[in-house]
Amino acid sequence: MSSMIGETLTDEQGKKWSIGKILGEGASGKVFTASDRIDMEVQDDVEFVIKWDSNKNGNLEGEIKFFQTLASIEEVEQWRKAQGLEFLGMPHYVASGDHHWEEEDHFFLVIPRYGKTLSQFMNEMPDGRLAVEVAVDVALQIIDILQYLQSKGYTHNDIKPENILLGRATSEPLRIHLVDYGLIQEYKESCNRNKANWGTIELMARDAHNGAFPLRGDLESLGFNLIEWTGGKLPWAGKTRPLASKTMFMKTLNLESLYSTPIEGLDTIKSFLEYVRELGHEDIPDYTRCKSILSDGFALGIPLAPKENILVSDTHKKVKTQKRKRPLQEDGVGNLRKRQRTKNSNQENGPIKSQISNCINENQAEKQVVRLPVTTQLLWQRIREGVQKVYSMKIKAIQMHLKSLGQLKKK
């Protein structure tokens, strides 16, 4: 395929777009920088990307239809405001069309441009993983996006660090965007064995191995991601038939055995997976409760600054471990990806038993999830440090006093 740099595309509204450098490439297509200034060369700091499919038989057509009908900037913003959210990392539709190139017709989709992938971000950490509080902050934002998709009747089905992009500004709290909607499905659809094992085998939910995509599936996949992000090794990593191992793990939820060194906060991830485990196939998750389970005990709104040690837990900094580099490959949505997702490989058989949700207490008051700004976090951190210092001084004074009393008794 010859270079497309400088090629001009015309979208459905007649607007022209100029293609810049390639950002990613995979089996499903390519991603390029893009600009609506066709009178000049596309600059590196442009605000848009074009997702270009390899052929018209790919997944991009379905993704375009979803964005056109259910992800306009007006619709995304309206939902965000109705939920009282300060931020929602749901990409919005910009433009789309088709273009004839090298004797073939191709679809293309224009969306906003974001920053590096979560996978790249993790590889910049000293030990290649995130502190639990940072991973939780990312997960809370993912849950907001999943709730948006649920409100439209869909599930994402391919949550992984290569499909999570950071914002381009580094002075803000950590804000993420979930991309790649090529495997999006209507969650009310019945099980389809022809779609079994669609997605990334290692991180997909158990239901997906049987071609089913209920709402609980994305949450279960998010739980598996949380384990990986925080340095855990999934028991089925590297297996081509992982369903039995996943089922056994979800019964026991023995998270401690997945980590080479003890870390704080695993109870939070375990509680989240316990809730997900009790969801039935047709249940609509209580997303507020999911966020409450994860956010309990954490001060969130982590600043995105490369020199901030807060991004790695103290426990991890004390242990010398080899940095876990992830083999990366460019995919068709502009993200560096470690694993190739599979499509219709039919590697697993047997239905997964639907479970009835029995852990939702409607009378329990939900805890409000609060994202603290960076300045507030730092203030509380200083307060905690000051309190700890005062207590330490008082303890030393008491110890000295007791010691002096002991010496007087001896005399």
Q: Would you please indicate which residues are annotated as catalytic (active-site) residues? A: 158
- Whether the Cβ atoms of residue 177 and residue 164 lie closer than 8 Å to each other: yes
Spatial distance between the Cα atoms of 339 and 361, rounded to a whole number of angstroms: 38
What are the strands, taking DSSP E only, across 183-317? 185-186
DSSP string, 82-149: HTT-S--------EEEEEEETTEEEEEEEEE----BHHHHHHTSTTS---HHHHHHHHHHHHHHHHHH
Tokens of 96: 């789309």
Binding residues for ATP: 51
Q: Distances in Å between the alpha carbon of 170 and those of 53, 79, 115, 334, 348?
A: 31, 26, 9, 20, 42
- In our burial notation (b when 16+ CB lie closer than 10 A, e otherwise), range 197-227 reads bbbbbbbbbbbbbbbbbbbbbbbbbbbbbbb
Going 201 to 206 to 212 to 216, the CA torsion angle's sign is negative
List the one residue out of 350, 65, 54, 354 whose CA is nearest residue 186.
65
Tokens of 303: 């600043």
